[in-house]
């Protein structure tokens, strides 16, 4: 039974109702927003040293464009190297991709100096496929992590535009669980009301054949990109990158 108390002419039934739940524990935050280093057995030897090296590297150059992400972004330094040089070599670009990263690992890096002292014109970010591949996180948990990263970036880089890319498709067939989950993430990201300065883009269609399959010519392991895949990525965002940087679009020599 709800008891009603009066004090100084006010009725406090609502206060009694709200107090009933005051002792209930708050729902725990998903792992996707709990900042942490990547401490997998295969990453411990290089992940921390790479972060330390990137902290040094950022002080040695003028940076106007930053890419943030996981192994697909990391591999601009190897498989995508020629495409990177063609599209971004003249744009003072800096790569902050780390293989294996999930959203919580990117958060840790940002909270531990990754972009401190910088003021780039544009950040291109693509993260979340390892939340899918490693743990099959719920789409909403991955999005919560992505939103936390965006908020962190806007706090630390208030004058920087963010081109937010949804996680790329993965797996050969359209009915594979990981493919469906990444597609769900993209659908929900599209519906988000992003703040000014954040520009969402889903370029999944660039990598998918008309029958819904993905070719190993574009993704040799059906996750990571080939040189052709990197060229598809760069071409798909070039108009956005040029507009947000305020420069001339790159036109490959035919």
Fold for 28-244, please state it.
Answer: Rossmann fold (3.40.50)
Spell out the residues 6+ positions from residue 202 whose beta carbon is closer than 8 angstroms to its own: 165, 166, 186, 189, 190
Distance CA 51, CA 110 (A): 10
224 is catalytic: yes
Task: Locate the domains of the chain by residue range.
Answer: 28-244
**Mode of pairing for the β-strands spanning 161-165 and 198-201:** parallel
pLDDT tens-place string over residues 146-184 = 999 999 999 999 999 999 999 999 999 999 999 999 999
* Annotated active-site residue in 62, 159, 211, 221: 221
**Mode of pairing for the β-strands spanning 161-165 and 122-126:** parallel
134 is catalytic: no
pLDDT tens-place string over residues 55-98 = 999 999 999 999 999 999 999 999 999 999 999 999 999 999 99
* Annotated active-site residue in 71, 151, 215, 226: 71
pTM to 2 decimal places: 0.89
Eight-state DSSP code of residue 59: G
Asked whether 121 and 160 are in contact (CB, 8 A), the reply is yes
* Annotated active-site residue in 70, 141, 224, 240: 224
């Amino acid at each position: 039974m709800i008891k009603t108390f009066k004090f100084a002419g006010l009725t406090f039934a609502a206060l009694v109702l709200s107090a009933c739940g005051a002792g209930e524990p708050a729902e725990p935050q998903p792992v996707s927003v709990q900042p942490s280093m990547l401490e997998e057995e295969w990453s411990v030897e290089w992940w921390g040293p790479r972060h330390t090296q990137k902290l040094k590297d950022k002080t040695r150059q003028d940076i106007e464009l930053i890419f943030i992400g996981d192994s697909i972004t990391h591999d601009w330094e190897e498989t995508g190297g020629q495409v990177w040089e063609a599209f971004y070599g003249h744009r003072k670009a800096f790569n902050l991709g780390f293989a294996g990263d999930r959203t919580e690992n990117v958060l840790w890096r940002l909270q531990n100096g990754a972009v401190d002292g910088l003021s780039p014109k544009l950040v291109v970010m693509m993260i979340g496929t390892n939340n899918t591949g490693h743990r099959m996180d719920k789409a909403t948990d991955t999005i919560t992590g992505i939103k936390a990263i965006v908020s962190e970036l806007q706090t630390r880089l208030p004058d920087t535009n963010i081109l937010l890319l949804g996680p790329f498709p993965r797996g050969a067939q359209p009915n594979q669980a990981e493919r469906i989950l990444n597609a769900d993430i993209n659908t929900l990201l599209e519906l988000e009301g992003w703040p000014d300065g954040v520009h969402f883009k889903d370029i999944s269609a660039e990598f998918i054949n008309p029958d819904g399959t993905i070719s190993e010519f574009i993704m040799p392991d059906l996750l990571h990109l080939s040189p052709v895949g990197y060229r598809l990525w760069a071409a798909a965002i070039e108009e956005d990158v040029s507009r947000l940087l305020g420069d001339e679009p790159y036109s490959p020599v035919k």
